[in-house]
Amino acid sequence: MNPRNPDTGGAGSSVRVQGVAADSPILLVPYMWIGDFVRCHSVVKLLRARWPDRPVDLLTSALCAPLLEYMPGVRKGIVSDLPRRRLPLGQYRALADSLRNERYGTALIMLRTWKSALAPFLAGIPERVGFVGEARFGLLSDLRWGERKLERMIDRCGALALPKGAPLPVQWPLPELVVPKAEIGAWLARHGLARTERPIVTLAPGAVGPGKAWPPAHYAALARALAAEGADVWVLGGPNEKAIAAGIAAAGGSNVTDLTGHDLRDAILAMTIADAAVTNDSGLMHIAAALNTPTIAIFGPTSPRLWGPLNPLAAVVEPPGGPVEESQVKRRRTADIDPQTVLATVRLALAKRPMPPASLA
């Protein structure tokens, strides 16, 4: 894609949709799963490269909103927790009024649902881009085809930020989360924690979807072994992981801390500080990778090629048996991955860690 060629719609292009100002803001309507939300930062980077003068905002749930504080290039989030299985027209009209006040020129609607396109349509956003789905022909101004031919979520989301028919790039911009250093000390003090020479390993035992979670007993065994070897272990997750975290902490003893809770910031800050992060195929995996924290990702019935983060991982741990065809991946079980295998992988990651700066010791 040549960014200076007007025919591509790239940066500096003179081609504009009627009614779209050259400096008008852009709205992304992303999937609200944490991992998919993090992936969308690649789209933000792409848009900012194409149109440096156009601010980029994201529609967000309250859960995902903290991520926007750490995403370079995002102006702000529009928080809206709309129900999944109902269509409260009053709430959609109120959201449309909020969007109208922002004077967006373009909305990229990444979901295929009819409801996801309703508020941008009611707000009168001139350019509304999305894939064909759920008979929403009147709600979108720029309909795209071929979504099902794109295997990866990033390819589907990113394609909407490119001119219609443009080839996908060989490499998408990498998602990035940046935490200001000033926040780290305040967060440690608030939780009664300290950064010492002991390595810190975070465990994220939660996952959405059948079979994706490594068994809690395996996490408990890993925590016990890491604590015995001199590591501080922090268990991360939401309220649903509270009971699991309690079991892991009981197994590991005083060097294991339960940091699960309602605020996603706790997981973001913890993994920023950590020397290594062990996760399932989950949203926290994508956060850790985007923070550039050495991430050991456990995969079972999902493919790391399709669902892994774009950011490099320290290691991918899969069930024994070697590579399998994509059609066979769903039969794999995370329970077949031995804790000793993960422990050995964490040891390798920790062996490469630099010593913490004296200011944090």
pLDDT digits (tens, 9 = 90+) for 10-38: 333 333 555 688 899 999 999 999 999 99
- Residue 361, pLDDT > 50, answer no
Cβ proximity of 9 and 163 under 8 Å: yes
Q: What is the mean pLDDT of the chain?
A: 90
- Residue 86, pLDDT > 50, answer yes
- Residue 58, pLDDT > 90, answer yes
pLDDT digits (tens, 9 = 90+) for 320-353: 987 678 888 999 999 999 999 999 999 999 998 7
Q: Return the HEC string of the chain.
A: CCCCCHHHCCCCCCCCCCCCCCCCCEEEECCCCHHHHHHHHHHHHHHHHHCCCCCEEEEECCCCHHHHCCCCCCCEEEECCCCCCCCCHHHHHHHHHHHHHHCCCEEEECCCCCHHHHHHHHCCCCEEEEECCCCCCCCCCEEECCHHHCCCHHHHHHHCCCCCCCCCCCCCCCCCCCCCHHHHHHHHHHCCCCCCCCCEEEEECCCCCCCCCCCHHHHHHHHHHHHHCCCEEEECCCHHHHHHHHHHHHHHHHHEEECCCCCHHHHHHHHHHCCEEEEECCHHHHHHHHCCCCEEEECCCCCHHHHCCCCCCCEEECCCCCCCCHHHHHHCCHHHCCHHHHHHHHHHHHHCCCCCCHHHC
Torsion of CA 312, 308, 223, 242, to 10 degrees: 130
Going from the N-terminus, what domains does the chain have, and what CATH number goes with each?
6-159 (3.40.50.2000), 181-360 (3.40.50.2000)
50 falls in which pLDDT band (50, 70, 90)? very high
More reliable by pLDDT, 83 or 251: 251
**Closest of 67, 65, 58, 62 to residue 161, by C-alpha:** 58
87 falls in which pLDDT band (50, 70, 90)? confident
User: How far is residue 83's CA from residue 68's CA, in Å, rounded to a whole number?
Assistant: 21
pLDDT digits (tens, 9 = 90+) for 261-301: 999 999 999 999 999 999 999 999 999 999 999 999 999 99
